[in-house]
Amino acid sequence: MHEHTFDELLRIMTRLRKECPWDREQTNDSIKGHTIEEAYEVVEAIDDGNDAELQSELGDLLLHVVFHTEIAAEGGRFTITDVLGSIIDKLVRRHPHIFSDTEVTTSDDVKKNWEEIKMEEGRESVIDGVPRALPALLKAHRMQDKASKIGFDWERGEDVWKKVDEELHELRGAVESRNGSDIEEEFGDVLFSLVNYARFLRVNPEDALRRTIDKFDRRFRHVERRLREEGRAAEDATLEEMDRYWDEAKEKEKTQ
């Protein structure tokens, strides 16, 4: 059986860049959207608990690492050796409790040291490094989590929930005054405070919302399927009829 190697992948990528018209035309900018898609497909495979799919999607993501690097290498910017060196140096530097004499007792200590080391590396803020392109919900969670590492955080979950109540009250006030810009701002504040509360519940808000979206997807498709079985389109059904099939989907999930 042929044993595939990382060097073989590098050779294939180099050949594709020389011989394949499509691969040859690509730039770091042109494939960056595909890179993001591949990362999300990895997440989907993890959520589905599908190891075969996870193996495949991790391969696709690794291909993008090699693809981006090959393009850079052709321009003399950096090579795969530089990429590997960067991550190896970073891992060693940011784990002094493993590779040096720093002592830690908890994972929180590790994360606190991690943020302090990044500041020593020249960052101006502890929230530097949160990608601008992250989905807003995930970005809010990451920024809050980073700020908490230096003590900028609520002490009790109950106080965070009071803040949620306060923001909901302000949103209602904005709605009643019918001020569009205030409504948007206050709605954002509600979401931000809920993300904060999620941290105290040890819930990842991005994961939680994606699971709720998946649940909506399953139930709504059930509604459409049941209506099709009656020879009807969803737009021809009443809300009461759709609600009945929605409840049917919920009951079906409970029995499963």
- pLDDT value at position 113? 86
Q: Half-sphere exposure of 166 toward its Cβ, with a 13 Å CA cutoff?
A: 9
Closest CA to 164 of 190, 134, 183, 133: 190
Closest CA to 127 of 113, 148, 101, 107: 148
Which residue has tokens 């690097």?
69
Give DSSP secondary structure letters for 73-89: HHTTS--HHHHHHHHHH
Contacts within 8 Å (CB) and 24+ apart, 42-49 = 47/207, 47/210, 47/211, 47/214
pLDDT tens for each residue of the chain, 256 residues long: 678 999 999 999 999 999 999 999 999 999 999 999 999 999 999 999 999 999 999 999 999 999 999 999 999 999 999 999 999 999 999 999 999 989 888 988 888 888 888 888 888 888 888 888 888 999 999 999 989 888 899 999 999 999 999 999 999 999 999 888 899 999 999 999 999 999 999 999 999 999 999 999 999 999 999 999 999 988 989 999 999 999 999 999 988 7
Write the CATH number of the domain with boundaries 6-91: 1.10.287.1080
Give the integer Cα–Cα distance in Å for 111 and 133.
23
- pLDDT value at position 150? 83
**Which residue type sits at 131?**
P
User: How far is Cα of residue 236 from the mean position of the Cα atoms in its chain?
Assistant: 37
- Distance between terminal CA atoms of the chain? 42
Give the integer Cα–Cα distance in Å for 102 and 114.
12
Q: pLDDT tens for residues 184-211?
A: 999 999 999 999 999 999 999 999 999 9
Answering whether pTM is above 0.85, one says no
User: How far is Cα of residue 198 from the mean position of the Cα atoms in its chain?
Assistant: 15
In angstroms, the Cα distances linking 37 to 58, 80, 154, 216 are 12, 22, 35, 22
**Which residue type sits at 195?**
V
- pLDDT value at position 194? 97
- pLDDT value at position 241? 93
Is 245:229 a contact under the CB 8 Å cutoff? no
